[in-house]
Amino acid sequence: MIEIMDTTLRDGEQTNGVSFTAHEKKNIARLLVKELNVDRLEIASARVSDGELEAVRRIAQWANEAGCLDRFEVLGFVDGGRSLAWIRDAGCRTMNLLCKGSLRHLTEQLRRTPEQHAADIAEEVRRAEEVGVTVNLYLEDWSNGINDSPDYVFALVDALRHLPIRRFMLPDTLGVLNPETTYEFCRRMTERYPELHFDFHAHNDYGLAVANTYMAIRAGVRGVHVTINGLGERAGNATFSSTVAVIHDQLHYRTAIREAGIYRVSKSVETYSGIHISPNQPIAGENVFTQCAGVHADGDAKSNLYCNPLVPERFGRTREYALGKTSGKANIRKNLEALGIELDDETMNKVTERVVELGDKKELLTQEDLPYIVSDVLRHNIHGNRIRILNYSLSLTHGLRPVATIKIEIDGRVYEETATGDGQYDAFVAALQKIYKSLGRTLPMLTNYAVTIPPGGRTDAFVQTIITWSHNDTEFKTRGLDADQIEAAIKATVKMLNKIES
């Protein structure tokens, strides 16, 4: 059973540009407990500000009423009891005491001897014990200390191991470890002190935080520190979602975490922090449960051939199938099934061609766009294609009227004309009218022109242009879909021409 300590509200708030309000901190803390069942939460640093004190008081009050105050921890310092007093005033009962885990930090920052530092720590622990506050101990810069000054690290732990310190926490403060050194250094600690509870606290400077956490657990540490969405100073900390998934699937160890709430909490923290989740971030990223290639969707339909243990339902999500130029029928069929739409093979082929056509323009389609594409395909083929636009050129120049040149085929004969207009589409219609006038025909009157974006669709996917026409005392509508509004209008116009010819 691996213990999870979330430090989003303390270390995660050290992300550049991130500062949670008291209300936001309380909401995040509640989500971490109620939705995810996190074992421990590090929620603040002592003596930061009056606002921080108020935030911790609110959280502590709620936690006390909810019966989970022992899960909440605050970072404190070796400062003659001032941090301890701040933590008690805030209503918390656990202090994560920060001490120096490397000789260099001790001598160059604190300018104390190892013996003096050990005595100072022991005095803080004694004060905490007297007032009923539990102490965990951070060995700051431990990763450099165990590499550069291991004798100092061992002497410090030897001096403190018999004190009432519940956990010794091993931070890779500067993110310098790799999986091999993490395993080696953590193993030295767990073998030398088998009776102690060790935590590992990773930083992601080399992108190795989750991998290093994995190796620390293999080396025998019993608790690990994480943040939601990998928030944290510099490159951040070990990501909550990935770390939990790795523990469950790769190490086959248990945690108390409820995976189903991970995505919801990740999105909430994204909103509060203003730091967007990368689309390809494992577990919580927008794209990670989306299949793009048609062959993958086909394989999923045949015994889930392209699925791994990270099924989206574990994390409160669903698998999606992207629509674009790499989409095959299987992708599209999966989306249509989700919408409750069934198509025959012929129509499916035409819908697939239409999706690929839009995808070639680098347009991103959504599931909500599909009914519009299906409708467009079905309506487009009702009246045949007696009239086709072979080519057209639209120009818009500052200070000059828009110009359109079109080449159109009517019943096998080709016509070409140029005209100006009040806008590009107006110029297109004017050129079309010239051709029809030369044939002794009249065009329907345009009575309404509307442009819509399909509900849930994206503005960079496509638009639907709906034109209402009046012809021989009858009104009718035609629709056109395209990424470009003018092109959509032209397609609606060609449908009108074929309709009146039929």
114 and 65 in contact (C-beta within 8 Å)? no
CA angle 112, 118, 124 (to 5 degrees): 105
Q: Is residue 140 annotated as part of the catalytic site, yes or no?
A: yes
* Beta bridge partner(s), residue 405: 393, 418
Residue 321: strand, helix, or coil = strand
Residue 112's contacts (CB-CB under 8 Å, 6 or more residues apart) are: 106, 120
Residues shown for the chain: 502
40 and 71 in contact (C-beta within 8 Å)? yes
Give the chain's largest Cα–Cα span: 106
Residues 198 and 191: their CA atoms lie apart, in Å, by 11
**Cα→Cα distances 223→167, 184, 218, 432, Å:** 9, 17, 11, 74
Which of 10, 167, 317, 354 does the annotation list as catalytic?
10
Residues 327 and 287: their CA atoms lie apart, in Å, by 15
Which of 42, 140, 233, 363 does the annotation list as catalytic?
140
Nearest alpha-carbon partner for 407 in 386, 394, 389, 428: 389
Q: Is residue 354 annotated as part of the catalytic site, yes or no?
A: no
Residues 464 and 469: their CA atoms lie apart, in Å, by 16
* Residues recognised as catalytic: 10, 140
